[in-house]
Structure 1
Amino acid sequence: MFGQYTLETSPGDSSYRVPKLNHKKSRYGCQRCRTRRVKCNEAKPTCQHCERHRAKCIYDRLPQKRTSQDRSPGSSSHPQPSESGISETSSDKTSPLSSVDPLDEDVLESKQRRLLEARLMHLYLTETGRSIPIDEKTFDVFANLAPKMALESEALLYAIYALAAIHALICKKDDSFDGLQVHRRYLSMALHEHQREITEISEDNFEAVSLTSHLLRICMFATLRYRNREPYTPPLEWILITGTTQALLAKSWGIILAHPESFVAGLTRSTPILYDTHARYDPANRQGLEYILERDAKDVVSEPWDAEIQDAYETTLSYIGGVLLLLHPKDGNIQLDEARRRMIIFPMVVKKKFLDLTRQECPRALVILAYYFSILVIENLWWVGDVGKQEVQDISKHLPAKWQKMLEWPLRVVERGAILPISQEGQALSGNNLLVGNGEE
């Protein structure tokens, strides 16, 4: 809908892109709207978007079997197919990224919109902002600093509205509005403004841009529960927008170093795994998970494999293994907060090649993804919920029988709601384990 933006670099990897949002196609819209991939209202002589931007409006496609006077755009009783091949009606029910044009007339200023935004900001100030942090280190940032910084950043302001709306829906905080519809609208508007602010990142706005990126990641994760998993596909929109934060970090790294007093610098210092590649990818961390890398004769013939692919699998397993070591340390000193922090930033720190393999639905990549989602039982945040359990179970249903043995541990974990020790064969062992509930606030 807004196209895609690509940041220049990411630590140790190539760039990430924000996912495109589906929109309702306009077959006979003007040339500029089709190029921008936004819905054209086909008004003559100038459509609403060209008029708003004072741009030249060119209609170079003629309608067939009807004219613009016969029927208004989108008046057909048959739903138009979206880019994903799912009808507009179906997509609205299952995808968090429905078609919302931030320049549509009903999104513009009105009394109803002002009242809704006041309601959303009140919810964020009193409940949502306080419910986001995974530890005390970030409480003030989300509860107090974010609303203040939003006064100078439309992207951050819209992200706050989007997050408050989905919070109201999931936790039944306010039923006076359609939470999912409102969330989708402000999410689209936030992404639109975020794209612009990233291109203009500077010492004046880098904190707001970073905070917006974080809230958007939470929004994407919160809406995973509403996505269509029939047939199963990886949650690519979440992976891509989360991975974009890594590229954003690289783009603003010089500014962060120049401002050690900023909250972004403080959060970076408190999360050394972001820049410590040895700790992140230490081969010793994946001991006990090597069976996931085993390949039989059939795999050797048919499975895509080279040094880069092997490295992508190994380093991702090392990262996951590092989290498990925090939860089952030899000295018994469980570091739950650090484990939770590492789970949240997972798509930011794994290598892009692994994300590519996941996007291609390679079975081994999906198995590893299932291990990640299973460990989310340690989270009790409302925006995480039981998404991990849903993803693990659907990955298991999707993969052929030969991969099921590797999935025994993730399946046991999500059923028990506990992190269990792993045998060398990938089976869950009985004995001491960390029981962590997965509830919603």
Structure 2
Amino acid sequence: MPRLGHKKSRNGCVQCKTRHVKCDEQRPCSNCARHGVPCSLVTCDDPNVPLPPVPIKQEPPTPSSSTSLTKVLSERQKKPSPHVSTPGSLPIEDVTNPSPAPTADSSEGSSPYSQTDTYPFLTKFIQKNDTLHPDYWIRDLELMHHWCTEAFLTITTREDLQQMWQITAPKQATDCHFLMHELLAFSALHKAYLQEELQRTYYALGIHHQDLSIRALRKTLPRLSFENAGALFATSSIMTLCLFGSTGLDAKDPNTESRPLFEDLLDIFILQQGMTSILSAGNDYVREGPFAAIIGRSSVEVPQQPFLQVLLEHITTFASFSEIQSLSKEVEREVTLTIEAFKEILLFAMSPFIDNRELRFVFFWPVRLSQNFLQMVRQKQSCALAVVAYYAVALRLTEPLFWFMDGWGERVIRAVFEAIEPSWQPAVQWPWEFIMKAQQNEA
């Protein structure tokens, strides 16, 4: 007996037959119209004759499509080869040639690009429109497999945290899509770092999932609760790693137009501050939930990192140097408070039961920076850049341990030396020599 309301037909278009979906046999059919591809019912006298492959159209980017970390991928990457749409193929060109970011008049409802944007520190990292393709799930399975077998191990050496990232995080991510996309973004960027010959493909997938994570995150942040606090906190942590990693990959790409390093660094600082401010209200929820290990200390004493003590001694010496400079009272106060926060966070990172010491300092110190100091860095005031030079030493200490921090120390110290006034160069001589010597030893 035939099913009620179901009509069996063999007159559908070639595209729908290839994709194994029902065709409504309109001219053109609604599926082809929705995907913007030629329909064989219109373009061919014989609907059973396959159409030739459709080349990918290159859309010029609009000013609104640029972000604070990278240019739109279609601007900075080589022109991809045409993509043939077959059932087993993966439309990576849809990712590497993104459509422009939505404007205030887009159909997304309350646009994140409007003047009433609640989360501007997140918006600037969205690089393209939210477009999906039915074949993306194949890539997603590949990325999740990589996360569960390799990528999670690159975040920490602490066993309880490793178990949390490998088992708990994917399980929780099935209900929290922002976390799922962030895990896939990290996995894709890690594969981009490992496989240079496929770097463009995996980088594009990483940016694709990063965008989707941010969009889902924006919708959830106003509804912080016991049920989602841990997943939000975990997403925020991985997002920062992804931003360091994606910016580092950008810096190595000869086809990428270079951006001001301090702008990239400040954007990440502001993101860290914004997310910390929002999620601090849920700290108690996190401690009671499945992601409690993130904010917990190690159960065993962690070996000391001797270079952190060396850094503490040199930042103290720098504080004495800055006190004898001709600074206004307001500027001197900002520098003094920033150095005190530097030493305080450094001492915390050196505590006996603190793991990932270098990375914790790199993440926690920016949260303590005042808006005035951030503005001083943006204006390239020498006294502020000198403090950043010592932060560059901490960045360099993370590089042998964490792939996503690769190259950051040298890029920051070079940017400081290019911008700082000659009278302040003696104050940053030690950071320069420390980082350059470390680079030579690894060469």
- When normalised by structure 2's length, the TM-score is 0.62
Task: Give the 3-state SS of the residue equivalent to 2:204 in structure 1.
Answer: helix
State how 1:28-107 maps to structure 2 within 5 Å. Answer: 80-81=62-63, 88=72, 92=76, 97=125, 99-102=127-130, 104=131
| Greater Cα offset, 364-373 or 183-192 | 364-373
Quickly say closer, same or farther: Cα 1:206–1:174, change in 2 above 3 A.
Answer: farther
1:315 aligns with 2:337: yes
1:246 aligns with 2:276: yes
TM-superposition CA deviations, 1:42-96 (whole Å, max 9, x none): xxxxx99xxxxxxxxxxxxxxxxxxxxxxxxx967x66445579975685459x9
TM-superposition CA deviations, 1:410-432 (whole Å, max 9, x none): 111111229xxxxxxxxxxxxxx
Quickly say closer, same or farther: Cα 1:196–1:80, change in 2 above 3 A.
Answer: closer
Q: Distance in 2 between matches of 1:251 and 1:386?
A: 34
Partner of 1:372: 391
Task: Give the 3-state SS of the residue equivalent to 2:402 in structure 1.
Answer: coil
Which residue, out of 269, 293, 309, partners 2:322?
293
- What's the offset of the Cα at 1:266? 4.5
- What's the offset of the Cα at 1:113? 0.4
Task: Give the 3-state SS of the residue equivalent to 1:204 in structure 2.
Answer: coil
Partner of 1:39: none
Quickly say closer, same or farther: Cα 1:396–1:173, change in 2 above 3 A.
Answer: closer
1:270 aligns with 2:292: no
Q: Distance in 2 between matches of 1:177 and 1:386?
A: 19
Partner of 1:407: 428
Q: Which runs of 5+ in 1 are unaligned?
A: 1-46, 49-73, 272-282, 419-434
> Considering only aligned residues, what root-mean-square deviation do their CA atoms show, in Å?
4.0
- What's the offset of the Cα at 1:177? 6.8
| Number of equivalences | 321
Partner of 2:149: 126
- When normalised by structure 1's length, the TM-score is 0.62
Greater share of helix: 2
Larger RCO (CA within 8 A; separation ≥ 6): 1
Partner of 1:355: 374
- What's the offset of the Cα at 1:220? 0.7
Which residue, out of 193, 196, 203, partners 1:180?
203
State how 1:159-238 maps to structure 2 within 5 Å. Answer: 159-172=182-195, 175=198, 178-225=201-248, 226-227=250-251, 229=258, 231-235=260-264, 236-238=266-268
Quickly say closer, same or farther: Cα 1:288–1:323, change in 2 above 3 A.
Answer: farther
Structure index of larger Rg:
2
Quickly say closer, same or farther: Cα 1:178–1:410, change in 2 above 3 A.
Answer: same
Q: Distance in 2 between matches of 1:269 and 1:338?
A: 13
Contact 2:192 2:200 in 1 (8 A): no
Contact 1:124 1:160 in 2 (8 A): yes
Quickly say closer, same or farther: Cα 1:370–1:249, change in 2 above 3 A.
Answer: same
TM-superposition CA deviations, 1:199-235 (whole Å, max 9, x none): 1111111111111111111111112212565554332
Task: Give the 3-state SS of the residue equivalent to 1:405 in structure 2.
Answer: helix
Equivalent AA in structure 1 for residue 428 of structure 2: L
Q: Distance in 2 between matches of 1:231 and 1:209?
A: 30
Task: Give the 3-state SS of the residue equivalent to 2:224 in structure 1.
Answer: coil
Identity of paired residues, percent? 17
- What's the offset of the Cα at 1:163? 0.7
Contact 1:134 1:341 in 2 (8 A): no
Contact 2:188 2:206 in 1 (8 A): yes
Q: Which runs of 5+ in 2 are unaligned?
A: 1-32, 35-56, 79-123, 252-256, 299-311
TM-superposition CA deviations, 1:128-166 (whole Å, max 9, x none): 112112544522222222111111111001101111111
Partner of 2:362: 343
